[in-house]
Structure 1
Amino acid sequence: MRYTASTMKRRSSVRIAAALGAAGAGAVAGYGAWVAAHWLRYGSARAPEPGEGDPLPDRFMPSYDVVERHAVRVDAPDATVLAAACELTWQGPLLTRAIIAARSWFLRAPPDRADLPQAMLPYLTSIGWRVLAEVPGREIVAGAVTQPWRGDVVFPLDGAEFARFAEPAYVKIAWTLRADPIGDARCVFRSETRVGD
C-alpha cells in the first residue's frame, strides 16, 4: 500500500485522538475510583492521628461524615507558608480545571465571572465561603453551607451561624489551612476538609 501525505496525516490525527481519548478515559476512571472510595467511606470518617488533631475547626464542626487530611514538611517559616497557600491560584492544574469544567457542563452551571479574584482564599470568600476563625500567620478555618449538586451553587449562611446550622438538604463543608512551626525556618503545612450534614 502506498502512503500519501494526507493518509499519513489522517493516521497521525487518529493516533493523537486515540491517545487523548485514552488519557481522558484514564483520568475519568481515576476520578471515578476516588469518588467511589470516598462514597464507601461516607459516614465513617477517620479519627485524627497523633499531631493531626485540631481544636479550632472542632469548635465549628466537631462531627462530620467525610474527612480528608494532608500534611507536608516545608523549609520556610509558618507565616510565609500560610500566606503562600492562601494566594495559590486554585484554577492552575489542568486536572482541577477539567473537573470543574465537567461539573459545570454536567450540572448546566452558569459560567464563572471573569472579574472574580484568582487567588484561592479571596476567590472562595467572594463566592460565599466565610472565614470562621483565624490565628494570624498560623491557621485559617473557612466554611460554607451549600447544595453542591446544584448547578448554580449559593452559600446562604453567614459564618456566625455555621456551627448551629442543621437544616436538611444542605451540606456543611469546613476546611482548614494550618502551618505548625518546627524550628525557626521550617514548618508542617496541614490542610483538612470536613463534610457533613
Structure 2
Amino acid sequence: MRVDYYCALTSPWTYLGHARLRDIAARHGAEVTIHPVNVLAIFERTGGLPLPKRSPERQAYRLQELRRWRERLGVELNLKPAHFPADETRAAETVIAARAEGLDAMDLAGRFMRAVWAEERDIGLARTIREVVTEAGMDPGALERAAGRYDANAIRAAETDQAVARGVFGAPTYVVGDEIFWGQDRLDFVDAALEAG
C-alpha cells in the first residue's frame, strides 16, 4: 500500500497532519512517498489563491481554525510565525534529495515544518537548511550535492505537474490508489482507505 503525499513545507495544515500521517501509514505498513510540490504554482493552475489575496473574512477564519486544530491535536504552532511565508524552494529540493538518497525524507520534512511553525526559523535561509539537515543526522554538504546531481528543481517541477494532472489543488493532499484526500482533516478517511487495502 502506498500514499502519495503532496505537501508544502510552509503549510500549517501540512504541519498539523504530518506526524499523524506517519503514524497511520506505520500502523498499516503503508509506504509514504513525499512530494514537496510548488503549491503556489498549483493554485495558479487550479483556481486557488495565496493567503494574502484571500478575503479578510477567509483569513480571519483560517486563524480560528488553526487555533482550534492546534488545541485539538496538542501540537505546538505559532499562529503568526515570524518567517511565514518563507521561500521553501531549497528546503523542498533538499527533501527531494534526501528521498532520492534513501534517507528519511519524511523526518526531514517534518523538521522543516516545525522550524517554521514552532521554532521561529527561516527555512528560506541556507544556514537554517544546513542546521535542520544536521539536526536530522544528515550531511548538509552531501545533500546539497545530491540535489544538484538529481536536479531536484526539475523533479519538483515535474511532480508539481503530476499533482495537477492527478487532480491535486492544495496541500496537504494524500492520494491512495485513485482516491484523493485533501487536507489534514481528511486523515481519518486515509486511515480507512488503508484499512480497506
Determine which structure has greater relative contact order: mean sequence separation of CA pairs < 8 Å that are 6+ residues apart, divided by chain length. Answer: 2
Task: With the length of structure 2 as denominator, give the TM-score of the two structures.
Answer: 0.24
Task: With the length of structure 1 as denominator, give the TM-score of the two structures.
Answer: 0.24
| Structure ID, larger Rg | 1
Structure that is richer in helix per residue: 2
